[in-house]
Amino acid sequence: MSNKLFDKVRGFVLSPGVKSFFEYLRRVMLNRWPLKLGCFFLSLVLWGVLISTDANITREKTISNVTVNAINADALQRNGLIVVSGLENLTDIQMKVDVPQRVYNTVTAANYNVRVDLSRITAPGEQQLTILTSPSTSYGQVIWLSKETVTVVVEELITKRRVPVQLNITGEAPAGFYAPPSASKHDPSWVVITGPRSITEDIEKCIAVFDVSRLQAQPGLQVTSVPFDVYNTSGEVVSSPLINVISESISVDSLIVEQRLYPMKTVDIDLTGITTGSPMKGYYVAGITATPPYLSVAGTSDFLRTLMHLEVSSKIDIEGASDELIRQIVVERPKNAEYVSDEAVYVKITILPEGSGLPAAPVGIAP
């Protein structure tokens, strides 16, 4: 480097002191390479500290597949309104953000709370909502959205009280058991339904289908949860996420059904003493049979254990008979029976001429 550089700067003659300082810098630049490298790396560190702490140094970043949340639906419903359509158009959008350099690689869409605020709706009808974002000093701000508004349709929210709940029982009880319909209880019997006026005002009832064949094959009380469907006055199922079925301030979608099962057994018909009188002279009673010969009876286990036969309610007069007799006879229902498979049986009395070769059945005694 020429010494003339240190003699004149911009046309001015340097004083001896300034000349000494520039001479010192020249020697440092030419001779002290480790110090120069150290200064270089120190400058890099200082630059890194600067960009990591200064929020004013930002970069633009594009974020795709951003979910837009709908907030304050409860507040809207408290105002007697509900959105019936349009929110399904809140598909993922794209946005550009001005991000501080220090968080560029870690920032996500969640840092900007992209949303539409349903509490801003004040009337039914078609409403346009602005998509909102939240800026912050930590993560910068959104500078562009691929979609800025969404249009929704709003209806009046109404409540329909005391909607009846109907339980339809189908199927057969497990083999060897009886499920009396009178022993079926369900809760709730009534519900409250809230929803858009266009759907709710046409709702008529709820129906649950209870298949008793799904019960366990064991006696006693069984408790089952049974889902129900909501029906309108046209008999169609109302399937909408916009309606809310409530019982005692709790949303419900099923009934609690209590069903008691009773064991069953077959019990013979007692034909002892069923006849009165005697057949015509020269004839005899060859046989007495019942069709069916037994009935199925349901009741508690203790009751069935003591039940040996079923009694009939009347007798058959065979006085002067010379031919076969068939009569329908009512069977007496045991006092503690929950179920008897039939109310009556057919009794056949076979009467033959003497000498027919068949043994006689004692009159009034079942063969």
**Looking up tokens 């079942």, which residue turns up?**
366
Instruction: With cut-offs at 50, 70 and 90, classify the pLDDT of residue 112.
Output: very high
Q: With 70 as the cut, is the pLDDT of residue 12 above it?
A: no
pLDDT band, very low/low/confident/very high, at 366 (cuts 50, 70, 90): very low
Q: How far apart are CA 69 and CA 150, in angstroms?
A: 12
Which pLDDT tens digit goes with each residue over 163-177? 999 999 999 999 999
**Contacts of 166 by beta carbon, 8 Å cutoff, 6+ apart:** 205, 206, 207, 208
Q: How far apart are CA 287 and CA 281, in angstroms?
A: 17
For 5-33, what is the mean pLDDT?
61
- Which strand ranges, in their side-by-side order, compose the sheet holding 283-291? 283-291, 344-353, 325-330
CA distance 38 to 185: 88
The pLDDT assigned to 6 comes to: 44
| End-to-end CA, the chain | 144
Q: By the 8 A CB rule, do 200 and 158 touch? A: yes
pLDDT tens track for 322-336: 999 999 999 999 999
Domains and CATH numbers, the chain: 3-53 (no CATH), 58-147 (2.170.120.30), 157-263 (2.170.120.40), 270-353 (2.170.120)
